């Protein structure tokens, strides 16, 4: 009798073209996603005089460099930005792949529109020149970020040379409490296993707390797998997945749907499938989280405090903590709820979908924010949906800015940046030094927690506000 | 790609863990073409004050480490964003090898595509090498990929592991794309079967 296979192993085998004696595996790529930071790879393809091998398997949108205050490119005057957007759209036209351009109502963050359009599907190897590609694993795909040289290789050959990663399973028991989001769950996981805890691994998230999550919550969860160092994160497809996919523009229909469904149903890990590492968490023990440092692994419960480096026995870690506290302008022992917030950003491939915006709107409805706050939907379709539901009017009435779709202040490449020394409560994925702008101070939180911080001007347990509603 | 065989060069220690690729090369520089050179932008926000002057306490600005080609880093070096410009910046500055207890996976792969050797050593060995460098006037380390060894001052010597295909790629300076294009018939045969078995992947194409 053969041992059961994990979902990762099944997808890996389905996409293996050949394996060399030295361990390198040539993998077929089912879907290749590209964006306006892909210019160097398009350039490399052109330099080699090679065609795009599979325009029908390549999909893209400009997201990193796009303005969010307007769709008028004439207003983009900073060096490089406009050229990156225009060069992306020219590449799409020349090479003939499906692109949702700046003026297309479906444009958005590539990791939002892949699932939204049904381009992301279970059982596929999906790659993109962006580390948050793990997002797409929420639908049961094996999705991972690659560098520019690898992107050029995929453009030319629709394949990648890979070493086989190891498999890790994170089982989450129990259920998340009201007011506790997928963002809090993934921050708690990263705090537990560390920013390098998943290095070299593909993580499968499993257990009743995961099965109970919506697809959008699973997208948030898988999105930040890279912040635990993992190559990819994935959740087994189930009826929630199929209901989400049905009817989406690039999803199969009719007889093709039934054929796809048969494949998708074969994907979940077999009983007895082997994992190199297993981790178990209780969802019920997790509360709203806030980061204090320069790595997502520095997440603590909002009821907690900034830790004291003096209590850290490891010398390297102690030095890292001191460096982080100095950069963040924080003193050891400060309760998280006493940290003032200068600015709030709600958006990014982690938290810019309709459920995220609904959660934030529920908190600010009928109130006024105390600090500048910006809401950036993940796609034009999310924006339209939010406007149909009246969420835009709630945000604007609360004193928040309502923007066009893009990566925006998560990475600041379009000019939406946090000023030096400013402290930002952000629903994005990275609190790295300088990530949101030089000397910017980032604290990662869920959309509801970001909205609560905007109202209070400090971090506050959103569950207290929710009781008042 | 430039081949890597053996390198004897000044090694510079960078003691902080979790140095992400945003710190190696901030996002605001990523639109620049490779040909414009990235060496001057390496570690920009650590290396320069906001007014553009050199940050005196940053290790790359210390004369002792002038001409360094080997970076001795801490755990989870190169985590975060997939930006290959992080390796461009290291390469253009002059680095050809990075030694650390662990690396971000994508950064590690990107190094191998650019002729920069990533060397994984156990944390204790990295600490020992750092101590050997600190205790010696010489800041020179030798990294030998053929023998898979690292030698430093004060008799420091150890071996390291690297996947056979990555070792060969770096030793020969092989170009991946050219290598794979030679296999294009096998790829086409695979694709024909894959497209037949997963025909629904064509869905939606007719709309566009």
B179 is a domain residue: no
Report CA Rg, chain B: 20
Interface residue of B15, B203, B207, B208 to substitute, partner A, most A CBs within 10 Å: B203
Where a domain ends, among A249, A278, A307? Answer: A278
Cβ contacts of A200 on chain B, cutoff 8 Å: 105
How many structural domains are present in chain A? 2
| pLDDT of residue B204 exceeding 80 | no
pLDDT of the residue at B207:
52
A376 is a domain residue: yes
Point out the residue among A30, A129, A257 whose CB comes nearest to the CB of B82. A129
A155 is a domain residue: yes
Contact with chain B for residue A46, Cβ under 8 A:
no
- β-partners of residue A234 are A204
CA separation for the pair A269, A281 (Å, rounded): 19
Q: CA of B103, closest CA in chain A: separation in Å? A: 8
Over residues B166-195, mean pLDDT? 95
Beta strands in A187-333 (DSSP E): 201-206, 232-235, 277-282, 289-291, 299-301
B80 three-class SS: coil
For A362-406, the DSSP string reads: HHHTT---SS-EEE--SBHHHHHHHHHTTHHHHHHHTT-EE--SS
| pLDDT of residue B61 exceeding 50 | yes
Question: Alpha carbon of B102 to those of B77, B112, B120, B121: distances in Å?
Answer: 6, 15, 6, 8
Q: Are residues A249 and A297 in the same domain?
A: no
pLDDT of the residue at A469:
61
Asked if the interface predicted TM-score (ipTM) of this complex is over 0.90, the answer is yes
Q: Are residues A231 and A82 in the same domain?
A: yes
pLDDT of the residue at A1:
45
Q: Are residues A257 and A305 in the same domain?
A: no
Q: Are residues A26 and A132 in the same domain?
A: yes
Closest CA to A233 of A247, A252, A251, A218: A218
Interface of A with B in 209-228 (CB under 8 A): 226-227
pLDDT of the residue at B63:
93
Where a domain ends, among A245, A278, A311? Answer: A278
CA separation for the pair B156, B3 (Å, rounded): 25
A1 is a domain residue: no
Cβ contacts of A256 on chain B, cutoff 8 Å: 199-200, 203
Cβ contacts of B205 on chain A, cutoff 8 Å: 56, 98, 250
Range of the domain at A22: 7-278
Interface residue of B15, B21, B24, B27 to substitute, partner A, most A CBs within 10 Å: B27
Range of the domain at B105: 6-174
Where a domain ends, among A258, A278, A298? Answer: A278
Cβ contacts of A131 on chain B, cutoff 8 Å: 80-82, 106
Q: Are residues A253 and A299 in the same domain?
A: no
CA separation for the pair A323, A317 (Å, rounded): 10
Interface residue of A21, A147, A223, A248 to substitute, partner B, most B CBs within 10 Å: A147
B167 is a domain residue: yes
Maximum distance among all alpha carbons in chain A? 65
Task: Specify the pTM.
Answer: 0.97
Interface residue of B102, B194, B199, B201 to substitute, partner A, most A CBs within 10 Å: B201
Q: Give the domain CATH number at A232.
A: 3.30.499.10
A42 three-class SS: helix
Cβ contacts of A129 on chain B, cutoff 8 Å: 82
How many structural domains are present in chain B? 1
Digit-by-digit pLDDT tens for chain A (469 residues) are: 457 999 999 999 999 999 999 889 999 999 999 999 999 999 999 999 999 999 999 999 999 999 999 999 999 999 899 999 999 999 999 999 999 999 999 999 999 999 999 999 999 999 999 999 999 999 999 999 999 999 999 999 999 999 999 999 999 999 999 999 999 999 999 999 999 999 999 999 999 999 999 999 999 999 999 999 999 999 999 999 999 999 999 999 999 999 999 999 999 999 999 999 999 999 999 999 999 999 999 999 999 999 999 999 988 889 999 999 999 999 999 999 999 999 999 999 999 999 999 999 999 999 999 999 999 999 999 999 999 999 999 999 999 999 999 999 999 999 999 999 999 999 999 999 999 999 999 999 999 999 999 999 999 999 998 877 6
Q: Give the domain CATH number at B123.
A: 3.20.19.10
Burial of A266 (0-12, 13-18, 19+ CB in 10 A): middle
pLDDT of the residue at A2:
59
Q: CA of A157, closest CA in chain B: separation in Å? A: 7
pLDDT of the residue at B119:
98
Q: Are residues A270 and A296 in the same domain?
A: no
A259 is a domain residue: yes
CA separation for the pair A429, A439 (Å, rounded): 17
The predicted-structure confidence for B67-81, as pLDDT tens digits, reads as follows 999 999 999 999 999
Contact with chain B for residue A280, Cβ under 8 A:
no
A340 three-class SS: strand
Binned at pLDDT 50, 70 and 90, residue B205 comes out as low
Burial of A418 (0-12, 13-18, 19+ CB in 10 A): buried
Q: Are residues A352 and A260 in the same domain?
A: no
A24 is a domain residue: yes
Closest CA to A138 of A236, A227, A15: A236
Cβ atoms A385, A412 nearer than 8 A: no
Half-sphere exposure at residue A297, Cβ-oriented, CA atoms within 13 angstroms: 21
Cβ contacts of B176 on chain A, cutoff 8 Å: 149, 153, 161
pLDDT of the residue at A466:
82
The predicted-structure confidence for B15-58, as pLDDT tens digits, reads as follows 989 999 999 999 999 999 999 999 999 999 999 999 999 999 99
Binned at pLDDT 50, 70 and 90, residue B138 comes out as confident
A285 is a domain residue: no
B190 is a domain residue: no
Q: Are residues A256 and A210 in the same domain?
A: yes
Cβ contacts of B89 on chain A, cutoff 8 Å: none
For A274-306, the DSSP string reads: --SEEEEEEGGG---EEE-SSSGGGEEETTSBP
């Amino acid at each position: 009798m053969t041992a059961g296979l994990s979902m990762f192993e099944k997808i890996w085998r389905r996409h293996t073209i050949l394996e060399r004696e030295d361990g390198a595996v040539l993998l077929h790529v089912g879907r290749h996603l590209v964006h306006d930071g892909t210019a160097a790879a398009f350039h490399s393809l052109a330099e080699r005089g090679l065609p795009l091998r599979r325009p029908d398997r390549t999909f893209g949108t400009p997201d990193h460099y796009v303005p969010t205050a307007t769709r008028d490119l004439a207003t983009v005057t900073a060096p490089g930005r406009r050229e990156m957007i225009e060069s992306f759209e020219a590449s799409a036209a020349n090479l003939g792949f499906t692109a949702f351009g700046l003026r297309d109502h479906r444009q958005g963050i590539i990791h939002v529109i892949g699932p939204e359009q049904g381009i992301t599907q279970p059982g596929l190897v999906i790659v993109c020149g962006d580390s948050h590609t793990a997002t797409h694993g929420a639908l049961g795909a094996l999705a991972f970020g690659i560098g520019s040289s690898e992107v050029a290789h995929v453009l030319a050959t629709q394949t990648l040379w890979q070493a086989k990663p190891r498999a890790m399973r994170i089982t989450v028991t129990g259920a998340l409490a009201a007011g506790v989001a997928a963002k809090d769950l993934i921050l708690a996981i990263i705090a537990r296993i560390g920013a390098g805890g998943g290095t070299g691994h593909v993580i499968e998230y499993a257990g009743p707390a995961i099965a109970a999550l919506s697809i959008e919550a699973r997208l948030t969860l898988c999105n930040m797998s890279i912040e635990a160092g993992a190559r990819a994160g994935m959740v087994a497809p189930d009826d929630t997945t199929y209901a989400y996919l049905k009817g989406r523009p690039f999803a199969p229909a009719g007889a093709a749907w039934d054929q796809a469904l048969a494949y998708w149903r074969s994907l979940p890990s077999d009983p007895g499938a082997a994992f190199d590492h297993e981790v178990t968490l209780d969802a019920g023990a997790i509360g709203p989280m806030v980061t204090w440092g320069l790595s997502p692994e520095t997440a603590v419960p909002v009821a907690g405090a900034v830790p004291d480096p003096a209590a850290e026995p490891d010398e390297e870690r102690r030095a890292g903590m001191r460096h982080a506290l100095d950069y963040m302008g924080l003193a050891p022992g400060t309760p998280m709820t006493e940290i003032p917030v200068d600015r709030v950003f709600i958006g990014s491939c982690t938290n810019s979908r309709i459920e995220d915006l609904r959660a934030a709107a529920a908190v600010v409805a009928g109130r006024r924010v105390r600090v500048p706050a910006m809401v950036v939907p993940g796609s034009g379709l999310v924006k339209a949906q939010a406007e149909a539901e009246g969420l835009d009017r709630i945000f604007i009435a609360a004193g928040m800015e309502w923007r066009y779709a893009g990566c925006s202040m998560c990475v600041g490449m379009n000019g939406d940046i946090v000023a030096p020394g400013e402290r930002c409560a952000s629903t994005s994925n990275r609190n790295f030094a300088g990530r949101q702008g030089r000397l910017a101070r980032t604290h990662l939180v869920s959309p509801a927690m970001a909205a609560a911080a905007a109202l209070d001007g400090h971090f506050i347990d959103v569950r207290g506000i929710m009781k008042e509603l | 790609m430039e081949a890597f065989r053996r390198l004897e060069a000044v090694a510079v220690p960078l003691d902080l863990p979790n140095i992400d690729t945003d710190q190696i090369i901030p996002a605001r520089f990523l639109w620049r073409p490779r040909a414009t050179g990235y060496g001057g932008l390496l570690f920009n926000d650590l290396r320069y004050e906001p007014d553009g002057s050199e940050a005196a306490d940053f290790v790359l600005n210390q004369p002792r480490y002038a001409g360094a080609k080997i970076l001795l880093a801490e755990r989870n070096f190169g985590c975060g964003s997939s930006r290959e410009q992080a390796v461009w910046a290291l390469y253009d500055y002059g680095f050809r090898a990075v030694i650390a207890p662990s690396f971000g996976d994508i950064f590690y792969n990107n190094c191998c595509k650019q002729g920069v050797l990533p060397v994984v050593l156990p944390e204790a060995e990295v600490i020992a090498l750092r101590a050997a460098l600190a205790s010696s006037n010489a800041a020179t380390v030798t990294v030998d990929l053929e023998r898979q060894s690292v030698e430093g001052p004060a008799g420091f010597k150890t071996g390291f592991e690297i996947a056979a295909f990555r070792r060969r790629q770096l030793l020969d300076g092989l170009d991946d794309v050219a290598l794979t294009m030679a296999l294009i018939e096998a790829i086409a045969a695979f694709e024909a079967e894959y497209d037949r078995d997963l025909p629904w992947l064509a869905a939606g194409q007719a709309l566009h």
